[in-house]
Amino acid sequence: MHIIYQDETKIFHLYNDNVSYIMKVLPNGHLGQLYFGRRINADKDYSYLLEMMSRPMASYLLDDEKLFSLEHIRQEYGVYGTTDFRRPAVEILQENGSRISDFRFQDYSIAYGKPELEGLPATYTETPEEAVTLIVRLKDLVSDIRLELLYTVFETGAIARSAKFINEGKEAVHLLTAMSLCLDLPDSGYDWVQFSGAWSRERHVKIRRLEQGIQAVESMRGHSSHEHNPFLVLKRPSADEFQGETIGFSLVYSGNFLAQAQVDTQDTTRILLGINPSCFDWKLETGESFQTPEAVMVYSLEGMNGMSRIFHKLYGKRLARGYWRDKARPILINNWEATYFDFTKERLLEIAKKAKECGVELFVLDDGWFGQRSHERAGLGDWVANPERLPDGIKGLAEKIEGLGMQFGLWFEPEMVNKDSDLYREHPDWIIETPGRHSSHGRFQYVLDFSRKEVVDRIYGMMEKILEGAKVSYVKWDMNRSITECYSASLPSDRQGEVFHRYILGVYDLYSRLTAKFPKVLFESCASGGGRFDPGMLYYAPQGWASDDTDAAERLKIQYGTSFCYPISSIGSHVSVVPNHQVYRNTPLHTRANVAFFGTFGYELDLNKLTGEEQEQVKEQIRFMKEYREVLQFGNFYRLCSPFEGNVAAWISVNEEQTVAVAGWYRILSGANMPYTRIKLQGLKEEYRYKIEGRDGYYFGDELMNVGLITTDYTSGEGAVSEGYAGDFDSRIFVLTAVKETQ
Ligand code: GLA
């Protein structure tokens, strides 16, 4: 991977073996976009790609010609109002009321490696050779604001981008729009793919043709949200999971975002990705700077699976960090659905003992252990153990669990407070609310003003005390409501537009301090399930609870959708009871586990309540997961068949050496006299012979990938029932192992 700059042509060419990204300093000094796509020769002047032409109704920038109009030029960081009328990447309100800006090229620097983004989560390198970074410096000569555009090309082909504003002028300005990424593409022949839903049905795949006009997904809830994810894919209509041109855009951010495509009537496409300009207004005083979050673009000719594998590598290895990044994740049991708020120490120990007997490694105590928290109206904010429920405190319980031979984990919801809590009684002014207005609640809780350092400090102090005082190996960090009446009592009126972003910076600050102080604690992020499942969180917590919905059929869709951007090791997935608590559906135990295997794996139930036969099945599931979790969580993952398109879903994880693979096959509804079915596998070595557990003989890799693997070879009718495979919501796991002597 390289970045070159040709002085004569003023062209930057960023490339690796697969991808080229080409920009040019335009005649007015702005930075223009020439090409983003498959790698092309670097030794060439591509200036002819600048579309300079005269059109009726166009406005022109240069006095003596009718050719150069920003309306028809592709730009790197578009501005509005000086011949371009599209939505801008930047809008700055200046003292005289003007919003025009004019960022002109000054200079640039290129260096191996990647600088950190202060206070923000971002991708990183471990050695400088993994990536090369270009910083292009531009300046608005009227306001004296400097703009630095940062581009990092990773070996893998991913390109990370962000922007930084520095006020070198004499007046304060207001940043009203400061996107992380602006990409102008020369045509609009794409499908737009978004990942949307709601609580309990997060990240469902929605595909439609890109059309003239604006299409967007966004959040204005104060967190990235269940409703939309800060991730967007454009693919050619002929591209699918396995082939074809696909571009993924992901924002490393957990707050309000906007992901937008604007197709103009000349059919060019502008992508914008960044902090949502709605509700955003950042005052930049003289001498201050503002760093946008990072956006990551991935270009693939190997379809959506190809794109996903690049994201998985980058986000699994160079966004997630710390002790747990590369480690197989512990199999856990969580008491929430087993007890809700209704537990005693004895009850918890019963659950833990049975779990240990079945092979579980980590016991997680969920909501209800602190303050007066025996229902949802009280206790949030008081992070001290409830002595009535836990007479020996967290320390005593943790020791008991450790004594059983398991690790101990604990739930927190650090950003929230109930009005019925000591913290609220002491600091009623610490919640986010607007003076003189009604304060709305969510689940009877209020959001603490994390834009204030003293609030974050206080919560840190309480959490630190718990984590220092007991052997806690895992923290589930929850966040269960959106922000309303957004306003901070600590900021002046002209800074209220900063609160949403400052809040998220406060969340990141608390995460940074806790992960630095307790580097071996495994953090799992959660927000009523997947309400803040985003790359920003992944930087601090290497796994996230994907959804409160643990029904196997629903989970197939949620995990399938999540896998487009996020690595399997990051997807929190558990087995729960039937009828399921979210959709009241009955699915077989083997299918619940077969879905949860493609994630971090665990149980969300009281194993004592299962039959002896089911408990034996659980033991076998745990044995299986322990044997294959490295492949499942860190292997190359391929989606094979989409639950959004039909009755069957399938996927496979293959280890790096292509010697071990685990495939999952799932059928939603059964039918009468059903056809034979096969799935074509992916990721195997063509010439290797593979043994398939439970089947005679062997199969070549090319055979399994072209002919396919038969998935319906078991007896039908009553025979299948007795074998445990029949009826609705059936599924199977296939383990493939390369036969050594033939490699
Ligand atoms: C949220 C989480 C659940 C559970 C409850 C506890 O809904 O997503 O997993 O922790 O809170 O209140």
DSSP 1-52: -EEEEETTTTEEEEE-SSEEEEEEE-TTS-EEEEEEEE---SSS--GGGS--
CATH number at residue 10: 2.70.98.60
- Please answer whether residues 285 and 151 qualify as being in contact, where contact means their C-beta atoms are separated by less than 8 angstroms: no
Q: Describe the crossing of helices 552-562 and 589-596 by its angle, rounded to 10 degrees.
A: 10
Q: Is the pLDDT of residue 712 over 90?
A: no
Which of 478, 534, 549, 606 is catalytic? The answer is 478
Give the C-alpha separation, 315 to 542, whole Å: 9
The model's pTM = 0.97
Q: Is 454 exposed, middle or buried (0-12, 13-18, 19+ CB in 10 A)?
A: exposed
The pLDDT-based confidence of 675 (bands split at 50, 70, 90) is: confident
State yes or no: pLDDT of 725 exceeds 70. no
Q: What residues pair up with 524 in beta bridges, in sequence order?
A: 476, 543
**How many Å apart are CA 282 and CA 286, to the nearest integer?**
13
Same domain, 291 and 365: no
Do residues 336 and 363 share a domain?
Answer: yes
Residues 451 and 597 reside in one and the same domain: yes
- Per-residue exposure over 310-335, b if at least 16 CB sit within 10 Å of its own CB, e if not: bbbbbbbbbbbbbebeeebbbbbbbb
User: Comparing 486-490, 565-569, 687-691, 715-719, which segment has the lowest mean pLDDT?
Assistant: 715-719
Mutating to test ligand 1, I would choose from 337, 537, 548, 580 the residue with most ligand atoms within 8 A of its C-beta, which is 548
The protein residue whose alpha carbon is closest to atom 1 in ligand 1 is 528
What is the 591 CA–ligand 1 centroid distance (Å)? 23
Q: Helix, strand or coil for residue 544?
A: strand
**Rounded to the nearest whole angstrom, what is the distance from the C-alpha of residue 529 to the centroid of ligand 1?**
7
- How many whole angstroms separate alpha carbon 402 and alpha carbon 415? 29
- Centre of ligand 1 from the C-alpha of residue 214, in Å: 36
* Measured distance CA(308)–CA(315) in Å, rounded: 10
Please tell me the number of Cα atoms within 13 Å of 480 on its side-chain side.
21
Residue 157: band (very low, low, confident or very high) from pLDDT cuts 50, 70, 90: confident
As a whole number of angstroms, the distance between CA 431 and CA 666 comes to 46
pLDDT at 309 exceeding the cut of 60: yes
Does residue 637 form part of some domain?
A: no
Mean pLDDT value across residues 248-254: 99
Token pair of 493, please?
């009126």
CB 673 within 8 A of CB 688: no
Same domain, 613 and 696: no
Residue 575 — pLDDT band, cuts 50, 70, 90? very high
DSSP class of 732: E
Query: Do 338 and 306 reside in the same domain of the chain?
Result: no
Mutate to test the pocket of ligand 1, among 337, 476, 478, 604 (most ligand atoms within 8 A of CB): 478
Asked whether residue 695 falls in the same domain as residue 621, the answer is: no
In tens, the pLDDT along 627-655 reads 999 999 999 999 999 999 999 999 999 99
Question: Is 90 exceeded by the pLDDT of residue 105?
Answer: yes
The predicted-structure confidence for 587-632, as pLDDT tens digits, reads as follows 999 999 999 999 999 999 999 999 999 999 999 999 999 999 999 9
**Domain match, 657 and 625 both:** no
Find the residues whose C-beta lies inside 6 A of ligand 1. 336, 366-367, 411, 478, 480, 526, 528-529, 545, 548
What is the C-alpha separation between 159 and 24, in angstroms, rounded? Answer: 17
Element (H, E) at 248: strand 246-252
User: How far does the centroid of ligand 1 lie from the alpha carbon of residue 203, in Å?
Assistant: 18
Q: Are residues 254 and 345 in the same domain?
A: no
Do both 479 and 542 map to the same domain? yes
Which atom of ligand 1 lies closest to the CA of 548? 8
Strands of the 19-25 sheet, one edge to the other = 2-6, 11-15, 19-25, 31-38
Tokens of 170: 């004499």
Distance 412 CA to ligand 1 centre (A): 10
Amino acid at 31: L
Q: Are residues 443 and 497 in the same domain?
A: yes
Q: What is the pLDDT of residue 219?
A: 98
User: What's the structural domain count of the chain?
Assistant: 3
Q: Is 636 within the bounds of a domain?
A: no
Taking 80 as the threshold, does the pLDDT of residue 713 lie above it?
no
What pLDDT, in 10s, does the model give residues 444-456?
A: 999 999 999 999 9
CA distance 129 to 152: 12
Closest approach atom of ligand 1 to CA 528: 8
Q: Note the residue count of the chain.
A: 743
Buried-exposed string 599-616: b where 16+ CB fall within 10 A, e elsewhere: bbbbbbbbbeebeeeebe
Out of 294, 318, 342, pick the residue that ends a domain. Answer: 318
Is the per-residue pLDDT at 261 higher than 80?
A: yes
CA distance 478 to 162: 28
Residue 604 Cα: closest atom of ligand 1: 9
pLDDT for the residue numbered 718: 56
Phi, psi of 594, rounded to the nearest 5 degrees: -60, -30
Residue 119's pLDDT is: 95
Q: Which atom of ligand 1 is nearest to the CA of 529?
A: 8
Q: Which residue pairs from 365-369 have beta carbons closer than 8 angstroms and sit at least 24 positions apart in sequence?
A: 365/335, 365/397, 365/408, 365/409, 365/410, 365/411, 366/334, 366/335, 366/336, 366/411, 366/476, 367/336, 367/341, 367/411, 367/413, 367/478, 368/340, 368/341, 368/343, 369/394, 369/410, 369/411
Shortest-distance Cα residue to atom 12 of ligand 1: 367
737: CA distance to ligand 1 center in Å? 38
CA distance 220 to 227: 10
Quick one: average pLDDT of 141-166?
Answer: 96
pLDDT score of 459 more than 80 = yes
Q: How far apart are CA 60 and CA 67, in angstroms?
A: 7
Q: Of 583, 601, 631, which closes a domain?
A: 631
Ligand 1 centre from 476 Cα, in Å? Answer: 9
Q: Bridge-partner residues for 344, per DSSP?
A: none
Average pLDDT over residues 693-703: 96
**What pLDDT, on a 0 to 100 scale, did the predictor assign at position 677?**
87
Q: What does the pLDDT average to over 468-477?
A: 98
**Listed residues 260, 294, 318: the one ending a domain:** 318
Q: Is residue 642 situated within a structural domain?
A: no
Please confirm, yes or no, whether 478 is among the known catalytic residues: yes
Residue with the smallest CA separation from ligand 1 atom 6 is 367
Residue 611 Cα to ligand 1 midpoint, Å, equals 26
- 640 in a domain, yes or no? no
Most informative mutation of 223, 342, 367, 524 for ligand 1 (most atoms within 8 A of CB): 367
> Which of 335, 342, 365, 366 is the best mutation target for the ligand 1 pocket, counting ligand atoms within 8 Å of the beta carbon and taking the most?
366
Residue 522: phi, psi to the nearest 5? -85, 120
Range of the domain at 190: 2-318
DSSP state of 448: B
Ligand 1 centre and the CA of 444: distance in Å? 14
Q: 7 in a domain, yes or no?
A: yes
State in Å, rounded, how far the first CA of the chain is from the last one: 32
Evaluate whether residue 562 is within a structural domain. yes
User: CA-CA distance, 10 to 31, in Å (whole number)?
Assistant: 10
Mark whether 609 and 662 lie in a shared domain. no
Mean pLDDT across 662-675: 91
Rounded to whole angstroms, the Cα distance separating 77 from 738 reads 50
**Cβ partners under 8 Å of residue 1, min gap 6:** 14, 15, 16, 17, 131, 132, 153, 154, 155
Whether 392 contacts 503, CB under 8 Å? no
The answer on 72 and 218 residing in a single domain is: yes
Task: Give the ligand 1 atom nearest the CA of 411.
Answer: 10
Write down the H helix ranges in 319-436. 336-339, 345-358, 393-403, 422-426
- What's the mean pLDDT in 125-144? 97
* Residue 326 included in any domain: no
Averaged pLDDT score across all residues of the chain: 96
Residue 717 pLDDT = 55
Do residues 220 and 229 touch, judged by C-beta distance below 8 A?
Answer: no
Phi-psi region of 443 (alpha: psi -120 to 50; beta: other; left: phi over 0): left
List the Cα angle 263/267/271 in 5-degree steps: 35
Distance 240 CA to ligand 1 centre (A): 36
Quick one: pLDDT at residue 743? 45
Confidence label for 672 from pLDDT (cuts 50, 70 and 90): confident
Q: Which of 340, 410, 411 to mutate to test the pocket of ligand 1 (most atoms within 8 A of CB)?
A: 411
Residue nearest to atom 3 of ligand 1 (CA): 528
- Closest residue by CA, ligand 1 atom 11: 528
Residue 638 belongs to a domain = no
Peptide bond preceding 391: is omega within 30 degrees of 0, i.e. cis?
Answer: no
Give strand pairing partners of 660: 737
Residue type, 738: A
Given the residues 382, 548, 551, 730, the one annotated as active site: 548
Of ligand 1's atoms, which has the minimum distance to the CA of residue 526?
8
In this structure, what CATH number is given to the domain that contains residue 469? 3.20.20.70
